Homo-oligomer: A and B are copies of this chain.
Amino acid sequence: MNSDFTLAIHSLTLLALQPDRMSTSDAISESAGVHPVRIRKVLSLLKRSGIIKSKEGNGGGFIFALDPGEVSLWEIYKVTSEGTLQPKCPVSNEKCIVGANMHRVLFLIFLGAENHLGEYLKGYTIKEMADLIKQGQ
Contacts and interface: CB of A to CB of B under 8 A. Distances in A.
Interface of A: 1-3, 5-6, 9-10, 13-14, 17, 30-34, 73, 85-93, 96-102, 104-106, 109-110, 112-113, 116-117, 119-121, 124, 129, 132-134, 136-137
Nearest to A108: B132
Contacts of A87: 1-3, 5-6
A2 to B, nearest CB: 7
Contacts of A120: 112-113, 116
Contacts of A5: 87
A121 B132 CA distance: 29
A13 B116 contact: no
